[in-house]
Amino acid sequence: MGILNPDKTDFDTEDLTFRPKLLSEFIGQKRVKDQLEIFLQSARMRKSVLEHVLLSGPPGLGKTTVANILANEIGKNFVNITGPSLKKAEDIISILISLNRGDVLFIDEIHGMSRIIEEILYPAMEDFKLPFTRTVGDKKEILNVKLKPFTLVGATTKDGSLTAPFRDRFGIHLEFDMYNKEDLVEVIRRTCSLLNIPITHEGVDAIAARSRGTPRIANRLIRRVRDVMVVRGSIEINKKIATIAFAMLEIDDLGLEDLDRKIIYHIHKYYKNGPVGVKAIAMNVGKDIRTIEDVYEPFLNHIGFLIRTPKGREVTPMALEHLQNLDNKFGVKYDVHIRKKEKKDKNDTIQDDQKTDMGNVRNDNIRNIALIDEEDMK
Ligand SMILES: Nc1ncnc2c1ncn2[C@@H]1O[C@H](COP(=O)(O)OP(=O)(O)OP(=O)(O)O)[C@@H](O)[C@H]1O
Ligand SMILES: [Mg+2]
């Protein structure tokens, strides 16, 4: 699938050395960092174990990195597992028993854990104990195995799919936002300097603008642009090299790739701008639902191109204008109809604001009207 591949295992080994080790080296996410600094300091001063932490947000924003940083800052072991890999009760029990005081147990994709595992975690998180029942004669006895106090750090891209009792057992909830342009610029400079890749200001800007607010994507784009730099015999990543690379990858000025554009176009063309369920979108563009929801939608939603409603997904006039403006750039002509007379309506102020800074759009409250002329569609 290219640059947006959510699969983390395809990472170059280079990438592992990129992870910032301390909170002070972690770029952006000021809200998350400020809170963690306080909580860490308070735990240190009270000589207590840090409370359980839930990290949520779209892929590639630094949740695993922050979990690692917490263990480093605390100076204890980091035990890293993924929710879906925990199948049987024994899997989690043996891990819990092996933890030392203050250790960080990181469970990635915690929404993918089974109920059995979740229920074992309840008393483990709350009272640091594991209750076992055993039968003595005809009586049942409860035996509590004491655990050493530890910090559970859970990461999820689907905050909403955790059960309320489970979510409530995390004392600290931190939500990751997409990065703004300045922070991405810093991430790109840092990565290029770690990889010894010379890059001009314009090169940095070109990559930052197409990184979809996501450091993982920024780092991947750097590698792809570097490939072009090497093959073209250039001594640096500059505007020209970046332009060649992005044209080859069919990544547009906002960082959208072919599949993003397909999603928008399908909703426009076949569902009259929506609402349409994610299942239908996934089938139409040939991807699974999870990939659409986790990888493509968050950014389209973030820049105000796609809105999620209880009835399904809708595309906005901004998205349609974007397709129209591409004007056959990647060899695809999008047959987009936008009703002219509704272009200038009261929503324009919001849309104009959005356009001034695509990187910082918050479109939660924006309800777009469908601009497509239904007559045009017939
Ligand atoms: N603030 C940051 N500064 C520098 N690099 C970062 C930052 N955040 C993330 N990265 C880099 O981006 C990559 C992705 O980060 P990470 O694996 O922590 O994301 P994630 O939120 O755990 O993603 P997923 O939900 O897919 O597991 C890593 O290589 C990491 O080094
Ligand atoms: Mg992760």
Domain CATH for 167: 3.40.50.300
Please give the distance, rounded to the nearest whole angstrom, from the Cα atom of residue 249 to the centre of ligand 1: 22
In this structure, the answer to whether residues 33 and 171 fall within a common structural domain is yes
Q: Is residue 48 packed enough to be buried (19+ CB in 10 Å), middle (13-18) or exposed (0-12)?
A: exposed
Average pLDDT over residues 103-115: 94
Please give the distance, rounded to the nearest whole angstrom, from the Cα atom of residue 216 to the centre of ligand 1: 6
Structural domain harbouring 52: 29-175
- Domain-embedded: residue 3: no
Label each residue of 211-228 as H, E or C: CCCCHHHHHHHHHHHHHH
Instruction: Report whether the peptide linkage leading into residue 275 is cis, meaning its omega lies within 30 degrees of zero.
Output: yes
In this structure, the answer to whether residues 242 and 269 fall within a common structural domain is no
Per the annotation, the verdict on 108 as an active-site residue is yes
Per the annotation, the verdict on 64 as an active-site residue is yes
In this structure, the answer to whether residues 199 and 95 fall within a common structural domain is no
CATH number at residue 237: 1.10.8.60
Q: Which residues does 12 contact at the CB level (< 8 Å), separation at least 6?
A: 223
The reported pLDDT for the residue numbered 362 is: 34
In this structure, the answer to whether residues 95 and 131 fall within a common structural domain is yes
In this structure, the answer to whether residues 35 and 163 fall within a common structural domain is yes
Average pLDDT over residues 47-62: 95
Average pLDDT over residues 208-221: 96
Boundary of a domain, candidates 220, 249, 278: 249
Task: Look at ligand 1, atom 12, and give the residue with the nearest C-alpha.
Answer: 216
In this structure, the answer to whether residues 190 and 138 fall within a common structural domain is no
pLDDT digit string (tens) for 252-310? 999 999 999 999 999 999 999 989 999 999 999 999 998 999 899 999 999 999 999 88
- Domain-embedded: residue 16: no
- Domain-embedded: residue 15: no
- Domain-embedded: residue 81: yes
Q: Which ligand has the nearest atom to the CA of 222?
A: 1
In this structure, the answer to whether residues 76 and 201 fall within a common structural domain is no
Query: Taking 70 as the threshold, does the pLDDT of residue 346 lie above it?
Result: no
Q: How many domains, the chain?
A: 3
Q: Which ligand has the nearest atom to the CA of 175?
A: 1
Q: Which ligand has the nearest atom to the CA of 176?
A: 1
In this structure, the answer to whether residues 239 and 279 fall within a common structural domain is no
Whether residue 18 has its Cβ less than 6 Å from ligand 1: yes
Q: Residue 364: which pLDDT band, with cuts at 50, 70 and 90?
A: very low
Its pTM stands at: 0.85
- Domain-embedded: residue 13: no
Task: Look at ligand 1, atom 27, and give the residue with the nearest C-alpha.
Answer: 59
In this structure, the answer to whether residues 269 and 204 fall within a common structural domain is no
In this structure, the answer to whether residues 49 and 81 fall within a common structural domain is yes
**pLDDT, mean over the chain:** 86
Please give the distance, rounded to the nearest whole angstrom, from the Cα atom of residue 347 to the centre of ligand 2: 37
- Domain-embedded: residue 271: yes
Instruction: Give the C-alpha separation, 131 to 109, whole Å.
Output: 25
- Domain-embedded: residue 118: yes
| CA-based radius of gyration for the chain | 24
The reported pLDDT for the residue numbered 6 is: 54
Please give the distance, rounded to the nearest whole angstrom, from the Cα atom of residue 342 to the centre of ligand 2: 43
In this structure, the answer to whether residues 70 and 127 fall within a common structural domain is yes
- Domain-embedded: residue 4: no
CATH number at residue 341: 1.10.10.10
